[in-house]
């Protein structure tokens, strides 16, 4: 064998040029062959595996498609990525074999070298000689692992049998191949065994070995195909077998290798979509939510990840049923067109909720498991506070749930805990900085903030940014003047302006107002503070609105926590803590992958409050999902509370930052909520419903449709098609449901559909799925609601969305408008903090009230998240526990370790 030229193969290590233990053979496509070929192997040495003399540089005169050969020493079976290959852009498949003879690969290529490049698919042969070391299995497994992770290699075949002087564990080798790259069907998870008498063929590519009864393309096959129950096709000629030849109900096993071009993947017509989603069919026996969830058999999350087209190195497993998805997925799929973007919202709800989450999951199950279209649901992560309080979990309900619901509702992958830690680190930094500035001189502060190391002081990166903000153009700590040192070390925080609070993910009413600093070690520096619930933290809003690690880093640095006594904003970057926050959030930024009861994929990521924040799941989850489903797929995301709150913020805040444009609004309505808006008795959580809600009352429904009509108009105001989903309860009558559907269509909804997905899962939302599919084909003219100054933005939302006559700002709110405008925050979107129980600011005003004045008590800034939030009335950021919280019913079975009592 001739010595390889380092210029021909610059990426191949120089010590790997002597022994033919593992051979990489590259066969370029006939129309892409290079004009200059590297050395080819000597036939005499190919059979012996002996090293070639140094200095040999023989060149073959055969066809330009003759294989390129590289050799590795017998002690190293290291796989080297094919970065040195001349044509890296073509589809590339690897074949692992112990036979160098082309004729031993009848199912992969023909006997001639040119046939090793079929339809543009190039074969990369990993040739294992018979002289294999005793640890060959481990070495082969290592090589296969590298191929699995190499995005340049699109498939891998293990050519059986693997003959060797030492035994090879064939099952381990074949099952080591990543299922998404398994071209042979050898991996147990993807193999199909055809049992004919006592013969089993596991390789669907080797058609000649299947059985004598299979017909080749040289036979008059049309008549035989029309009769076939199972049709195996591997002719090598594109579209030779016509769909009209195949009888209804027949199984078609496509073994073709005809390449369909694509920027994101290389595939045959049958697997044009990367998705191979296997839906889960459940037994429909109505019972409580946790029993239904537990009766389901979820797929292992790694399997689901492969089914939706995720690479193994893009998924981090958290147990069997949940995983994090790396942001590198977005970069890999960037050329892919986005799917259809659907947002689920609702009419103004009762305190019991009207089933937006259930509808989101039911719709996703209908699209994926019943219409067989690619789909992702994207939902918020629930807070532990309501789960143990009065609302319960947020996994959906009935047969439209995210499972396992225990893992969904409790802890998940720890994102909320990470936010709690990050938020409280900022709170601790604020009070510590005020304490140290009060008790130390400028010089002492400077010496501690910029410590000397062997008589050398250096600023950290975050301190250099502070100097730049102060317009001090110096990098040597010893060069600062006394005045500059004073500016550098003194944040001079005004305690009365601190807006940053400590958080915890538990409902605790007694932490709404506390006094801190009462220990003697704090030297009397006490102040009044409070705890908020974690999902009200600005860091949660940052997580939901960011689109990259770099963007999150900047948003975290921009968060304003207080003002100095001179009126200047104090940020986390000024405190020196923004870098540490990014570290604490480095895993939380990755979306969480779970599944529905019917096996369709769900992203669970971020959970900002829908009143104090914008109430939507993360932009990153939506973006990755839209790429994964492809242009014909659907992403169904949910906006919290009613359309006047969650949907308005989805459009004006989330879509403004994401750049995404929705295709359809699904507006969830219930007869129960419409009766309430029509003048029905008060609905109270934990109290049985009055008879008006369980007996037919068409008049109440008709009156309450004023709220439905207003919310349809709100959605149409943004130029998006609306489909109304009527979430059916067992107490609803056909007359009541007909009124809702008719009124919705008359008001401008594209369609209105009755849904029974709580009781029937995806089957009960198929009509809704078809309506959404048709609505997504309609032309939209999406537009934002505003692009004005602060007060006008507030006024437009109040008048157009809520129905108010005008707004009234308190002196404090007016002062904040002037302050934020002066500081450059006036252009930020508006996130109204308002009750979700009414279109107005008064929770007891139902229907669609008009003509009222909306009071703005205060305005606060979430500069890092990127919005201002006016406070309409009194808003609590720490829920309290009811008399009988949900935790009374929650317990763990010590024998089975199963959680009981969640709902």
- Residues 794, 710 share a domain: no
The reply to whether 380 belongs to the active site is yes
Write down which residue in 181, 204, 222 finishes a domain: 181
Confidence of residue 105 (pLDDT cuts 50, 70, 90): very low
Q: Which residues pair with 195 in a beta bridge?
A: 200
Residue 785: pLDDT over 80 = yes
- In this predicted structure, what is the pLDDT of residue 189? 53
pLDDT of residue 261: 57
Pick the catalytic residue from 19, 275, 609, 641.
641
Strands (E), 306-363: 315-317, 323-325, 340-346
Residues 578 and 605 in one domain: no
Q: Would residue 477 count as lying in a domain?
A: yes
Q: Is 887 among the catalytic positions?
A: no
Question: What band does 3 get if pLDDT is binned at 50, 70 and 90?
Answer: very low
Residue at token pair 């067992």: 730
- From 719, 742, 775, the end of a domain falls on 775
Beta strand pairing call for 853-856 and 806-809: parallel
In terms of C-beta density within 10 A (0-12 exposed, 13-18 middle, 19 or more buried), how is residue 640 classed? buried
**DSSP assignment string, 259-310:** PBP-SS--B-GGG-SS------PPP-----HHHHHHHS-PPPHHHHHHHTT-
What is the reported pLDDT for 171?
A: 78
Question: Quick one: pLDDT band at residue 861, thresholds 50, 70, 90?
Answer: very high
Judged against a pLDDT cut of 70, whether residue 270 lies above it is answered with no
What's residue 53's pLDDT?
36
Q: How confident is the model at residue 135 (pLDDT cuts 50, 70, 90)?
A: low
Distance between CA atoms of residues 745 and 3, nearest Å: 77
For residue 2, is it within any domain? no
- 137 vs 762 pLDDT, higher one: 762
Q: Which of 103-112, 223-232, 555-564, 660-669 has the lowest mean pLDDT?
A: 103-112
* C-beta atoms surrounding 213 within 10 Å: 7
Q: Are residues 826 and 762 in the same domain?
A: no
Of the residues 136, 151, 181, the one at which a domain ends: 181
Catalytic residue among 609, 650, 758, 825: 758
Catalytic residue among 129, 358, 582, 835: 358
Q: Is 408 a catalytic residue?
A: no
- 756 and 808 belong to one structural domain: no
- Looking at the fold, whether 264 and 347 belong to one and the same domain comes out as no
Which one from 380, 553, 672, 795 is the annotated catalytic residue? 380
- Number of structural domains (the chain) is 5
CA-wise closest residue to 82 among 34, 125, 42, 33 = 125
Catalytic, 334? Answer: no
Q: In this predicted structure, what is the pLDDT of residue 732?
A: 96
Domain of 254? 194-270
Please say if 610 is a catalytic residue.
yes
Asked if 602 and 412 count as a contact pair (C-beta separation under 8 A), the reply is: no
Q: What would the mean pLDDT of 363-378 be, rounded to a whole number?
A: 97
Q: Residue 726 pairs with which residues in a beta bridge? A: 669, 754
Please compute the mean of the pLDDT values over residues 311-317 and round it to a whole number.
Answer: 95
Looking at residue 648, what is its pLDDT?
96
- Which pLDDT belongs to residue 813? 94
Residue 765 lies in a domain: yes
- At how many degrees (to 10) do helices 415-439 and 442-449 cross? 140
Percent of the chain with pLDDT over 90: 57
Confidence of residue 244 (pLDDT cuts 50, 70, 90): confident
Which CATH number fits the domain that encloses residue 293?
Answer: 3.40.50.300
* Whether 428 and 451 share a structural domain: yes
DSSP state of 123: E
Residue 482 CB neighbour total at 10 angstroms: 10
> Is the four-CA dihedral 105, 106, 112, 115 of positive or negative sign?
negative
Q: Report the percent of the chain where pLDDT is more than 70.
A: 74
| Same domain for 379 and 464 | no
**Is 899 part of any domain?**
no
Tell whether 806 and 682 lie within a shared domain: no
Residue 73 has pLDDT above 60, yes or no: no
Whether 710 is a known active-site residue: answer no
- Residue 136's pLDDT is what? 59
At 876 the pLDDT is 76
Q: How many CB atoms lie within 10 A of CB 788?
A: 14
Per residue in 525-538, pLDDT tens? 999 999 999 999 99
Place of tokens 């309080």: 389
Q: In CATH, what number is assigned to the domain containing residue 526?
A: 3.30.1510.10
Options 93, 364, 422, 610, the catalytic residue: 610
Res 415: pLDDT: 97
Lowest mean pLDDT, pick from 124-138, 378-392, 415-429, 753-767: 124-138
Mean pLDDT of the chain: 80
Which residue from 707, 635, 623 is spatially nearest to 668, judged by alpha carbons? 707
Residues 221 and 338 occupy one common structural domain: no
Could you tell me if residue 895 is inside a domain? no
Let me know: does 858 contact 811? Beta carbons within 8 Å. Answer: no
Catalytic residue among 531, 634, 729, 903: 729
Does some domain include residue 304? yes
Count of alpha carbons within 13 angstroms of residue 52, beta-carbon side: 25
Q: Are 460 and 569 in a shared domain?
A: yes
Q: Are residues 57 and 145 in the same domain?
A: yes
Candidate from 7-16, 201-210, 644-653 with smallest mean pLDDT: 7-16
Q: Has residue 73 been placed in a domain?
A: yes
Tens of pLDDT, residue by residue over 817-834, are 999 999 899 999 999 999
Q: What is the pLDDT of residues 797-808, one digit of tens each?
A: 999 999 999 999
Reported in sequence order, the residue ranges of 560-700 that DSSP labels E, i.e. its strands, are: 560-563, 569-571, 592-596, 601-604, 634-638, 664-669
Question: pLDDT digits over 447-491, tens only?
Answer: 999 999 888 999 999 999 999 999 999 999 999 999 999 999 999
Each residue's pLDDT tens digit, 185-214: 666 554 544 333 333 333 444 444 444 444
Print burial letters for 397-436: b (CB count within 10 Å at least 16), e (below 16).
Answer: bbbbbbbbbbbbbbbbbebbbbbbbbbbbbbebbbebbee
Which residues, 6 or more positions from 803, have their beta carbon under 8 angstroms from its beta carbon?
Answer: 710, 839, 840, 848, 849, 850, 851, 852
Q: Is residue 11 part of a domain?
A: no
Could you tell me if 759 and 820 lie in one domain? no
| Res. 385 pLDDT band, cuts 50 70 90 | confident
Catalytic residue, from 17, 356, 555, 816: name it: 356
For residue 612, what pLDDT band results from cuts at 50, 70 and 90?
confident
Closest CA to 128 of 173, 88, 90: 173
**Are 621 and 591 spatial neighbours (Cβ–Cβ below 8 Å)?**
yes
Q: Taking 90 as the threshold, does the pLDDT of residue 22 lie above it?
A: no
């Amino acid at each position: 064998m001739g010595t390889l030229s380092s210029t021909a193969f610059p990426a191949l290590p120089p010590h790997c040029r002597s022994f033919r233990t593992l051979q990489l053979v590259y066969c370029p496509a006939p129309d892409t062959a290079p004009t200059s070929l590297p050395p080819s192997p000597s036939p005499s040495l190919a059979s012996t595996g002996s090293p070639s003399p140094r200095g040999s540089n023989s060149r073959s005169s055969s066809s330009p498609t003759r294989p390129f050969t590289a050799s590795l020493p017998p002690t190293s079976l290291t796989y080297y990525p094919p970065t040195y290959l001349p044509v890296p852009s073509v589809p590339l498949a690897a074949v692992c074999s112990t036979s160098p003879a082309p004729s031993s690969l009848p199912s992969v290529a023909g006997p001639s070298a040119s046939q090793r490049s079929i339809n543009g698919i190039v074969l990369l042969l990993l040739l294992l000689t018979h002289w294999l070391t005793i640890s060959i299995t481990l070495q082969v497994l290592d090589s296969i692992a590298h191929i699995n992770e190499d995005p340049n290699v699109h498939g891998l075949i293990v050519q059986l049998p693997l003959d060797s002087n030492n035994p090879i564990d064939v099952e381990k080798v074949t099952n080591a191949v990543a299922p998404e790259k398994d071209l042979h069907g050898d991996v147990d998870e993807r193999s199909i065994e055809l049992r004919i008498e006592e013969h089993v063929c596991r390789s669907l590519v080797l058609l000649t070995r299947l059985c004598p009864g299979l017909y080749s393309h040289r036979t008059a096959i049309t008549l035989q195909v029309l009769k076939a129950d199972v049709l195996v096709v591997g002719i090598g000629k594109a579209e030779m077998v016509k769909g009209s030849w195949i009888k209804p109900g027949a199984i078609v096993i496509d073994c073709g290798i005809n390449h369909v071009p694509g920027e994101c993947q290389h595939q045959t017509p049958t697997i044009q979509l990367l998705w191979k989603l296997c839906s889960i069919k459940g037994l429909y026996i109505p019972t409580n939510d946790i029993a239904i969830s537990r009766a389901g058999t979820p797929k292992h999350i790694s399997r689901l990840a492969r089914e939706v087209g995720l690479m193994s190195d893009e998924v981090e497993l958290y147990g069997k049923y949940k995983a994090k998805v790396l942001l590198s997925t977005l970069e890999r799929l960037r050329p892919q067109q986005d799917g259809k973007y659907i947002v689920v919202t609702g009419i103004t709800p009762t305190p019991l909720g009207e089933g937006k989450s259930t509808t989101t999951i039911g719709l996703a199950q209908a699209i994926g498991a019943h219409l067989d279209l690619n789909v992702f649901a994207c939902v918020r992560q629930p807070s532990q506070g309501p789960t143990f309080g009065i609302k319960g979990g947020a996994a959906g309900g009935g047969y439209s749930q995210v499972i396992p619901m225990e893992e969904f509702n409790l802890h998940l992958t720890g994102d909320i805990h990470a936010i709690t830690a990050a938020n409280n680190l900022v709170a601790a930094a604020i009070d510590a900085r005020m304490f140290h500035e009060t008790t130390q001189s400028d010089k002492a502060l400077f010496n501690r903030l910029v410590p000397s190391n062997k008589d050398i002081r250096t600023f950290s990166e975050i301190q250099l940014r502070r100097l730049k903000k102060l317009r001090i153009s110096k990098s040597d700590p010893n060069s600062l003047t006394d005045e500059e040192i004073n500016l550098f070390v003194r944040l001079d925080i005004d305690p009365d302006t601190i807006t940053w609070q400590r958080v915890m993910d538990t409902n605790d009413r007694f932490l709404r107002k506390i006094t801190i600093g009462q220990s003697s070690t704090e030297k009397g520096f006490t102040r009044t503070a409070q705890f908020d619930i974690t999902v009200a933290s600005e860091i949660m809003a940052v997580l939901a609105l960011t689109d990259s690690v770099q963007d999150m880093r900047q948003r975290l640095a921009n968060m304003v926590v207080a003002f100095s006594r001179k009126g200047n904003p104090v940020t986390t970057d000024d405190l020196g803590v923004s870098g540490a926050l990014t570290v604490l959030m480095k895993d939380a930024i990755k979306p969480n992958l779970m599944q529905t009861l019917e096996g369709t994929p769900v992203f669970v990521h971020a959970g900002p409050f829908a009143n104090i924040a914008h109430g939507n799941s993360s932009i990153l989850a939506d973006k990755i999902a839209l790429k994964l489903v492809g242009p014909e797929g659907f992403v169904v995301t949910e906006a919290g509370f009613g359309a006047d709150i969650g949907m308005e913020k989805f459009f004006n805040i989330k879509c403004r930052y994401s750049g995404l444009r929705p295709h359809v609004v699904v507006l969830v309505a219930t007869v129960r909520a419409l009766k309430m808006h029509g003048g029905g008795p008060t609905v109270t959580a934990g109290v049985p419903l009055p008879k008006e809600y369980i007996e037919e009352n068409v008049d109440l429904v008709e009156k309450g449709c004023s709220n439905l009509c207003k919310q349809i108009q709100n959605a149409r105001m943004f130029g998006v098609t609306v489909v109304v989903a009527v979430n059916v309860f067992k107490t609803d009558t056909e007359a009541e449901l007909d009124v809702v559907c008719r009124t919705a269509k008359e008001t401008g909804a594209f369609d209105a559909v009755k849904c029974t997905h709580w009781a029937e899962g995806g089957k009960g939302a198929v009509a809704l799925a078809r309506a959404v599919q048709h609505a997504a084909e309609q032309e939209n003219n999406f537009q934002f609601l505003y692009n004005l100054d602060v007060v006008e933005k507030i006024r437009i939302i109040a008048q157009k969305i809520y129905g108010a006559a005008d707004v009234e700002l308190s002196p404090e709110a007016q002062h904040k408008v002037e302050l934020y405008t002066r500081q450059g925050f006036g252009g930020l979107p508006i996130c109204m903090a308002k009750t979700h129980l009414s279109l107005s600011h008064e929770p007891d005003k139902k229907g669609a009230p008009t003509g009222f004045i909306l009071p703005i008590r205060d305005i606060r800034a979430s500069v890092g998240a990127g919005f201002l939030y006016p406070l309409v009335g009194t808003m609590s950021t720490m829920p309290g526990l009811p008399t009988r919280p949900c935790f009374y019913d929650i317990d763990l079975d010590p024998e089975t370790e199963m959680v009981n009592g969640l709902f």
